[in-house]
Chains A and B, each alone.
Chain A
Amino acid sequence: MRLPPFQYLEPATVEEALSIIGTHKETVKIMAGGTDLLNRMKLRLIEPAFVMNISKLRNMDGIDIGDTETVIGANTRLKEIAGAPLVNKRFRAIAEAAFQVASPTITNMATIGGNILQNTRCMYYDQSGIVLNGLERCHKRGGILCLAVKGSKRCFSVYQGDMAPALRAFDARCVLEKKGSTRTVSITELFTGNGVTPFAIGADELLTKIIIPKPEGICGSAYRKLRLRGSVDYPLASAAAFVSVTDDRKVTTCRVVIGAAGAAPKVIDGASCEADLEGIAQKAYEHAEGVDNLLMPGAYRRKMVSVLAKRAIKAAIDGIKEGM
């Protein structure tokens, strides 16, 4: 498939990039690794007038592990995150999520920023024009109906990013810059929860870095996902778990974030962990949306969210035991 026409822009500095998006706003699309954007353009889901390549902006790259927080540049390749020994040690769920994105060759190209900001997906939307021409216009294509849930007044497209649930488990924040100002938002605030326009970001804003606070106490984490082919596919259900304990092994935090179960990652918080594994699993199931709009049946995906929640918590606890 060929790409639609566009004008190519390659800013040399972040300031220049901010100036470009400040001027062109919605007409410019930002390309980092390109693995998600170019596919959407090939399908003609988007046909931006300008494509701005930010992959050469070096000061948006790299992992800086500090005493109080860790900063990951938005341009950092997923392979680097998956392979970083200290990320594996301190933020295992984040390394595991990066390791499980698509295939190794894709993670050589794809960045953490691009992974976080990937659009929601649905089998009635992510198709070529040949297929879409035969379908009625759904909410995500500016229509007034949902093809996945008949009669629905809203869009049920699914957020299938792997990094955001894992980052949310660690309470990570995103730095959004625009010309003249910078703001920091939590992963939760980054999402609207609306499948049509999943992100609460201005067209003139650029995600430049992700900040992960140092977790308190002794902790473990894990990320588990379901996919059709172990080597390439998007998650069809996923769960990230973060568990922290006191010195005498009392659980202080047990947080599960479920993914591929709605238009945004969802937090299942405040459970007392090992003692109530079934309770968390049930809560995860209740919060998960399981609609028949991806490769596996919605009912099965929803059940798997709860299974993966349990597996992720168990793996996080095993991680703590290993470290003790």
Chain B
Amino acid sequence: MNEMKKTAITLNVNNETYDIVAYPNRTLLEVIRDDLHLTGTKESCGQGVCGSCTVLVDGTPVRSCLTLAVAVQGKEITTIEGISLGEKLHPVQEAFVNHHAIQCGFCSPGMILTSYALLKENPRPTEAAIRRAISGNICRCTGYAKIVEAVKSLAEEEK
């Protein structure tokens, strides 16, 4: 078994600074859930396929299951808990609720963050662009039609 030493890790998550001491083999996903207790971010495949662990690093959606926590120090990390304004849902979250784009909810944090990042980059995405953006987020129950409708409604509202 290889040697490993714990190291001090400082993370900026949802505009708050967290200082933890952890082994370097901890993924960002593990730290967010187990150390910071922000359990909105989900683990599913653990291989970067399903997208349920998606978080934003400097505004870009990444797989937190394939990201080392120690490697994203100094970056701005946003989880699903970070986009709402207290009790008030973010418009993307509201759109998902209003369009019944949530069933079991397991893919929702990843879907919403991916859509949030898409709309920041391109406020009026076409349906093809929406489908492309969320193509790395797998939903096993709602289906994609409602999710695409929810994101589309925001694109249209911006007009």
Q: Which residues of A contact B (CB under 8 A)?
A: 1-8, 10, 31, 34-35, 38-39, 42, 47-49, 51, 53, 55, 102-106, 108-109, 230-232
Contacts and interface: CB of A to CB of B under 8 A. Distances in A.
Contacts of A109: 62-63, 66-67
Contacts of A47: 2
A34 B70 contact: no
B3 A7 contact: yes
A105 B51 contact: yes
A5 B4 contact: yes
Nearest to B62: A109
A51 B3 CA distance: 12
A105 B71 contact: no
Interface in B27-77: 27, 30, 46-49, 51, 54, 60-63, 66-68, 70-71
14 contacts: A2-B30, A6-B4, A7-B2, A7-B3, A7-B24, A8-B68, A35-B66, A38-B27, A39-B47, A53-B68, A55-B71, A104-B132, A109-B63, A232-B49
Contact of A104 (B5, B48, B68, B135): B135
A106 to B, nearest CB: 6
B133 A53 contact: no
A34 B25 CA distance: 12
Contacts of B18: none
A35 B47 CA distance: 8
A34 B67 contact: yes
Interface in B65-111: 66-68, 70-71
B66 A6 contact: no
B47 A105 contact: no
Contacts of A31: 68, 71
A108 B7 CA distance: 27
A232 B30 CA distance: 23
Contacts of B132: 104
B71 A49 contact: no
B136 A6 contact: no
B5 A10 contact: no
Contact of B135 (A39, A55, A230): A230
Contacts of A39: 47-48, 66
Contacts of B137: 105
The 10 lowest CB-CB distance pairs between A and B, nearest first, are: A103-B136, A8-B24, A231-B135, A5-B4, A3-B25, A105-B136, A5-B2, A105-B61, A49-B2, A38-B66
